[in-house]
């Protein structure tokens, strides 16, 4: 996949470098998590705007669970980063997903520092679940702790992206060649709807939507190997490869590029069905080499 570019739409926007703010609550128990929140536009001056839709009285509070829905890109004509749906099993999970989306789109910008209290205000929760989510991102290598200030988004260059692409190829090329010898054409055909979904996601022009559909497709492919550890490692590499580059290396990824990338998924399935090992090897290798 051709990773590392910045997108325009996102979720979980935040205050500017060195920002701080009050969460408005001393704990999750007194905080209502909105069914939908408007993500923050992160600008150089850190001007943040958010709003929440009306939440019914039965809305979930604190760490209680509620239904899961995807985080969509804004519809055509709506300002990028204007809204985000945040509904997962827990407040922490909601915030973590939203922040990961914001990383993919570049709304959380490399080198910028974001405070948990300021982010908490944007989501209408206390700083605690935000801090927990950011600590998970620190374990992932996406951010680093800045004492008494918050979390800085890690700056990375093209070399790191190339290294990630190389590791992904080293893992996935031999696995796909092995699967091409053993998996039936019928099983590969069953994955075609997922490949077609990546094409539609790419055509939408939304980087976050495409990244998720791409992840689902590759997970389905690798799951046929029956090795969950392999799948988890590959997904971690995929996530890291989505983070934006810094400075001049950060080139926006256009819709045409994503569509071409997605088209390789369909070509790969055709080669797997035909058991053309040379084409499978070349397609998977080139898929990551173009990252």
Instruction: Identify the pLDDT of residue 77.
Output: 54
Whether 125 and 96 have beta carbons less than 8 Å apart is answered as no
Same domain as 173, residue 89? no
Rounded to 10°, the helix 228-242/91-105 angle is 50
Question: Diameter of the chain by CA atoms?
Answer: 60
More confident residue, 206 or 279: 279
Same domain as 172, residue 122? no
Out of 44-53, 115-124, 202-211, 256-265, pick the least confident.
Answer: 44-53
* Spatial strand order in the sheet of 150-153: 113-114, 150-153, 143-146
Same domain as 145, residue 163? no
Contacts of 224 (CB under 8 A, 6+ apart): 179, 183, 187
Percent of residues, the chain, with pLDDT higher than 70: 65
Residue 261 has pLDDT above 60, yes or no: yes
- Which pLDDT band, with edges at 50, 70 and 90, does 138 fall under? very high
Same domain as 179, residue 215? yes
| Domain of 114, in residue numbers | 28-153
33-to-65, 99, 118, 138 alpha-carbon distances in Å = 11, 16, 15, 24
Out of 27-41, 94-108, 115-129, 234-248, pick the least confident.
Answer: 27-41
Total residues belonging to the chain: 291
Does 174 map to a domain? yes
For range 262-279, the mean pLDDT:
94
Mean pLDDT of the chain: 73
- Which pLDDT band, with edges at 50, 70 and 90, does 248 fall under? very low
Does 3 map to a domain? no
Q: What is the DSSP string of 33-68?
A: PPSEEPPPP--TT------B----TT--BTT-----
Same domain as 197, residue 144? no
CATH number at residue 214: 1.20.120.530
CATH number at residue 130: 1.10.10.10
- Which pLDDT band, with edges at 50, 70 and 90, does 47 fall under? very low
Instruction: Identify the pLDDT of residue 76.
Output: 54
For range 239-257, the mean pLDDT:
65
**Last residue of some domain: 120, 153, 186?**
153
Residue 81 has pLDDT above 80, yes or no: no
Residue 106 has pLDDT above 50, yes or no: yes
Query: For residue 57, how many other CB atoms are within 10 A of its CB?
Result: 5
Query: For residue 280, how many other CB atoms are within 10 A of its CB?
Result: 23
pTM comes to 0.63
198-227 pLDDT, tens digit each: 999 999 888 889 989 999 999 999 999 999
Instruction: Identify the pLDDT of residue 17.
Output: 40
Does 126 map to a domain? yes
For range 85-109, the mean pLDDT:
79
Same domain as 200, residue 223? yes
Does 18 map to a domain? no
**Last residue of some domain: 153, 171, 189?**
153
69-to-94, 97, 197, 236, 259 alpha-carbon distances in Å = 10, 11, 17, 22, 25
Residue 256 has pLDDT above 70, yes or no: yes
Helix residue ranges per DSSP H, the chain? 91-105, 116-123, 127-140, 158-182, 185-189, 192-204, 207-223, 228-242, 255-274, 277-289
Same domain as 42, residue 133? yes
Same domain as 201, residue 111? no
Q: What CA–CA distance (Å, rounded) separates 141 from 151?
A: 11
Name the domain count of the chain.
Answer: 2
45-49, 109-113, 269-273: which is most confident: 269-273
For range 254-262, the mean pLDDT:
83
Residue 107 has pLDDT above 90, yes or no: no
3-23 pLDDT, tens digit each: 443 343 333 444 444 443 333
**Last residue of some domain: 116, 132, 153?**
153
- Which pLDDT band, with edges at 50, 70 and 90, does 132 fall under? very high
Judged by DSSP in three states, 191 sits in coil
Nearest to 231 by CA among 213, 209, 211, 215: 215
Q: What CA–CA distance (Å, rounded) separates 224 from 183?
A: 8
Instruction: Identify the pLDDT of residue 78.
Output: 52
Q: What CA–CA distance (Å, rounded) separates 130 from 229?
A: 28
Same domain as 174, residue 139? no
CA atoms within 13 A on the CB side of 90: 11
């Amino acid at each position: 996949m051709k990773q590392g570019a910045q997108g325009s739409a996102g979720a979980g926007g935040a205050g500017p470098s060195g920002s701080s703010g009050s969460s408005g609550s001393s704990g999750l128990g007194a905080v209502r998590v909105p069914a939908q929140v408007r993500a923050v536009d992160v600008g150089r001056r850190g001007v943040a705007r958010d709003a929440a839709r009306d939440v019914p009285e039965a809305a979930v509070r604190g760490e209680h669970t509620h239904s899961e829905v995807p985080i969509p890109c804004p519809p055509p004509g709506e300002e990028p980063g204007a809204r985000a749906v945040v509904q997962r099993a827990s407040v922490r999970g909601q915030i973590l997903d939203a922040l990961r989306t914001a990383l993919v789109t570049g709304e959380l910008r490399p080198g910028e520092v974001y405070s948990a209290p300021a982010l908490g205000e944007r989501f209408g929760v206390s700083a605690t679940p935000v801090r927990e989510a950011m600590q998970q991102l620190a374990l992932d290598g996406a951010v680093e702790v800045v004492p008494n200030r918050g979390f800085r988004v890690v700056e990375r260059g093209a070399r790191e992206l190339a290294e990630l692409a190389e590791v992904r190829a080293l893992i996935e090329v031999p696995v796909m060649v092995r699967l091409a010898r053993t998996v039936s054409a019928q099983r590969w055909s069953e994955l075609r709807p997922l490949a077609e979904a990546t094409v539609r996601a790419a055509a939408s022009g939304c980087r976050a939507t495409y990244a998720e559909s791409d992840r689902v497709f590759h997970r389905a492919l690798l799951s046929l190997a029956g090795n969950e550890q392999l799948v988890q490692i590959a997904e971690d590499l995929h996530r890291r490869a989505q983070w934006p580059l810094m400075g001049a290396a950060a080139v926006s990824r256009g819709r045409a590029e994503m569509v071409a990338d997605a088209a390789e998924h369909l070509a790969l399935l055709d080669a797997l069905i035909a058991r053309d090992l040379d084409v499978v090897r070349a397609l998977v290798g080139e898929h990551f080499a173009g990252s």
